[in-house]
Amino acid sequence: MESRDPRVSVVMITHNRRQEVQRTVSILIDLPERPRIVVVDNASTDGTADAIRARFGRAGVEVVDSVSNLGAAGRNLGARRVDSPYIAFCDDDTWWEPGMLRRAADLFDAQPRLGVLTGQTLVGPANVEDPICRELMESPLPREPGMPGPPLLGFMAGVSIFRRSAFLEAGGFDPVVFISGEEEWLAVELAARGYWICYVPELVVHHHPSTVRDRHARRWQAIRNNLWFLWLRRPWSVALSRTVWMAWTVPRDRHSLRGFAAALGGMPRLLRRRRVVPPRVELGLRLLDGAQMASVAGRYVS
């Protein structure tokens, strides 16, 4: 039996998914690495926090109660609570295969510039590879010597492991984003600081998508957040052309309209935050623009 590996802690966010989070935690506590597990409850009203404490408190699972639903930024609370050098983020419907946390820690130990590792995602009981994995594998960004996998300028938060110091240095997840597309905002902050983000398919994560989710809300929020990212972090010429492309290609329904309206409504208070990414990061984003526009996995549908 392998000994406990204290290098990686698991941080999970959840909101009103009492049954699903219990299933996921029960899997995580059986991992051979026996990681410290912190669950951030985003102000659930279904008894989630009490259920986790009652069932897993003696196993050492810690619950952090957020006074409000912070969305993705709830992960920041968990990251500040742990002290391990690396953090594996999970959602309440994702979990890591045995041995993956130890392997990830070895990769981080070997390369100090490595900031984020994103794993291969297998979906559902049939373990079907998520279509986004092929796109990550075919990243057009140039690969530097020492990188353990294709370089990225994004990641999937619930299936990624972070160098904790890099995460905190970059400021964690931006509260203004709430949920959907929060990864790109943090990815450019990490890249601007010289950290690598890599896709490593040998790190396997399971995703059993929750049946308790509002797909339409996720879509309009993703549209809003993508527009905000364009308007706040990209040169105006790029922001304008991509905005026109989005307006032309997203489904023409009330959910898309809500996303555009929310983006426009929020800009007056956000415009003071406009800060274009460094030129080398913008170059990488431009290399990815074509692939993202052609992406099947990233279409705004619900």
| Average pLDDT value for residue range 12-33 | 97
CB 4 within 8 A of CB 34: yes
Q: Give pLDDT tens digits for 152-162.
A: 999 999 999 99
Domains in the chain, please, with CATH? Answer: 8-207 (3.90.550.10), 215-294 (no CATH)
Residue 203's pLDDT band (cuts 50, 70, 90): very high
Least confident stretch, 37-41, 242-246, 248-252, 297-301 = 297-301
Q: What percent of the chain has pLDDT over 70?
A: 96
Residue 3's pLDDT band (cuts 50, 70, 90): confident
Least confident stretch, 96-105, 165-174, 258-267, 293-302 = 293-302
| Average pLDDT value for residue range 201-219 | 90
**Interacting residues of 292 by C-beta distance below 8 A, sequence separation 6+:** 298
Tell me what the pLDDT averaged over the chain comes to: 94
Strands 86-91 and 160-163: antiparallel
Locus of tokens 């983020």: 89
Instruction: Specify the amino acid at residue 114.
Output: L
Residue 296 pLDDT exceeds 70: no
Q: Could you give the CA distance from residue 185 to residue 221 in angstroms, rounded to a whole number? A: 14
Q: E strands of 124-223, at which residues?
A: 128-129, 160-163, 196-207
Can you say whether the dihedral through the CA atoms of 198, 202, 205, 209 is positive or negative?
Answer: positive
Integer angstrom CA distances of residue 187 from 47, 123, 147, 171: 33, 24, 16, 11
Q: pLDDT value at position 206? A: 98
Residue 117's pLDDT band (cuts 50, 70, 90): very high
Q: Give pLDDT tens digits for 32-79.
A: 999 999 999 999 999 999 999 999 999 999 999 999 999 999 999 999
Residue 295's pLDDT band (cuts 50, 70, 90): low
Residue 98 pLDDT exceeds 90: yes
User: DSSP characters for 83-110?
Assistant: -SSEEEEEETTEEEPTTHHHHHHHHHHH
Residue 215's pLDDT band (cuts 50, 70, 90): confident
> Which burial class, exposed, middle or buried, applies to 267 when counting CB atoms under 10 A from its CB (0-12, 13-18, 19+)?
middle
